[in-house]
Amino acid sequence: MVRFRSPRDSFLILLVSALLSLTNVSLGDEISRITSLSKIIPDQPWPERREEIKRRWLDLLGDFPQEVPELKPQMKEVDHSNGITRYHVTFQAEPDDRVTAWLLVPDAAREKPTPAIICVHSTTWGSGKDQVIGLSGRRPVDPPRDPEIGADYGRTLAQHGFITLSIDLLTDGERIAPEHRVMDTRAFYQKHPEWSIVGKNTWDIMRSVDFLMTLDFVDKNQIGCTGWSLGGHTALFAAAFDERITATVSNGGVLDWWRHADAWSRLPPGNNWRPWQKGIDEPTSSTRLEKRFGFKPTNSGPYIYIKKFRPYIDDPTKEIPVDFDSLMAMVAPRALLIISTEHEFSRHKIFPKALEALPIYVNWKDEKGLPNVLKARQQRLGYAETLEYYESNYGQSEETVVSKLDSLGAGDAFSWFSFPGGHAFPGVARRMTFAWFDRWLGRTMK
């Protein structure tokens, strides 16, 4: 049970109240129609609250498949350069669907089991995983993007020393159905009318964890997940639903229901649920997207995130049963870092959501069936050095150090960071990401 601690908890309440006042958070009709974390059975122990939150999300996303097929993985070495081996990987997500991915393995990972990070791409026009390791831009025909944008985090994290698995999400990269177009999810909904593409992406990342668990050079207790933009909110969903993910960085993910737009549950043009087909349907384009991206982004979408969210768009007075603060809290007590631009923090109300989730971390008490925080600290790199330092310098016993670490709870395992500028993954955000994964996946203390 999460028990409030006094006087620390009183201080926390005052701190959160003060911070909320500084952000000018409005508690008007828009916010009041969205059920915040603090309103969901607040008097119950956290495991019961978490199950209720999970059920509310699954009511929107749809349940995961009951059948878990064999992975039947296939790996083929493609390249070795600059101390990194690149493999083309596929494995089975559903009986008739396979995930495609690039696996990057630093040479040093052959010496001992090494942490691995699943890297989820942003919205692209067919590049998918290729953009994440710097093979192309948004389209397969485009050159790699400017490194300052930081879209190649699958590569840079591997250069930093982690094993990375950069996957194609369904409807992009190698997973665009023949004769169909990028980001058109209608074929998926014809196959799975009660599910959602968000649930499917989450499931595919869960299967990615299954795959990483089969590799003897992967540290199976230290698996991370990250992504930018589309990949940013996808990484958060995956961390919330897969407790094997140890540490997560969500960068530039839209963590907001966008009450005045239909982005989360678009209706296809003419309410036509047949996917676009080459040779049958006319090509389409968007002048708005052409102006934004500098090329004609023809034949894309519609990308329908959560089909079951549509009633909340059609009726703006209908109360939304769950919000992204609850999704953040579901990750607890595992490490979670939320990164976005300053503008995105304001536009998507990320700060008040983070403050809603913070008490779950700060007041964490271990419960059966949920990760043990103290054990996780003891398993990470640097624990032996901690014991040696405080014993030799202060004469403190291991029992004393353990007691101090235990009192931390999980308060330092949740954080957020914003930066000026546009929607990107610049150096300052990348350095935060490297440090976060170094700390919580225990790759290095240097």
Angle, CA of 146, 147 and 148, to the nearest 5°: 90
State how far the Cα of 427 lies from the Cα of 78, in Å rounded to an integer: 29
406 phi/psi in degrees, rounded to 5: -65, -35
Q: If you search the block for the tokens 């049958």, which residue do you land on?
A: 280
Half-sphere exposure of 5 (CA within 13 A, CB side): 15
pLDDT at residue 382 above 90? Answer: no
Tens digits of per-residue pLDDT, 131-153?
Answer: 999 999 999 999 999 988 999 99
For 36-57, what is the mean pLDDT?
96
State how far the Cα of 395 lies from the Cα of 393, in Å rounded to an integer: 6
Are the beta carbons of 34 and 257 closer than 8 angstroms? yes
**Coil, strand or helix: which one is 442?**
coil
pLDDT at residue 28 above 50? Answer: no
- When pLDDT is cut at 50, 70 and 90, the band that residue 323 belongs to is very high
List the single range of 21-30, 116-125, 186-195, 239-248 with lowest mean pLDDT: 21-30
State how far the Cα of 372 lies from the Cα of 365, in Å rounded to an integer: 9
Walk me through the domains of the chain, giving residue ranges and CATH numbers.
51-164+197-256+316-364+409-441 (3.40.50.1820)
Tens digits of per-residue pLDDT, 300-317?
Answer: 889 999 999 999 999 989
pTM of the full structure: 0.91
For 241-245, what is the mean pLDDT?
96
Are the beta carbons of 344 and 252 closer than 8 angstroms? yes
State how far the Cα of 205 lies from the Cα of 211, in Å rounded to an integer: 10
Tens digits of per-residue pLDDT, 195-238?
Answer: 999 999 999 999 999 999 999 999 999 999 999 999 999 999 99
Are the beta carbons of 414 and 332 closer than 8 angstroms? yes
Q: If you search the block for the tokens 């579901």, which residue do you land on?
A: 330
Tens digits of per-residue pLDDT, 85-131?
Answer: 999 999 999 999 999 999 999 999 988 999 999 999 999 989 999 99
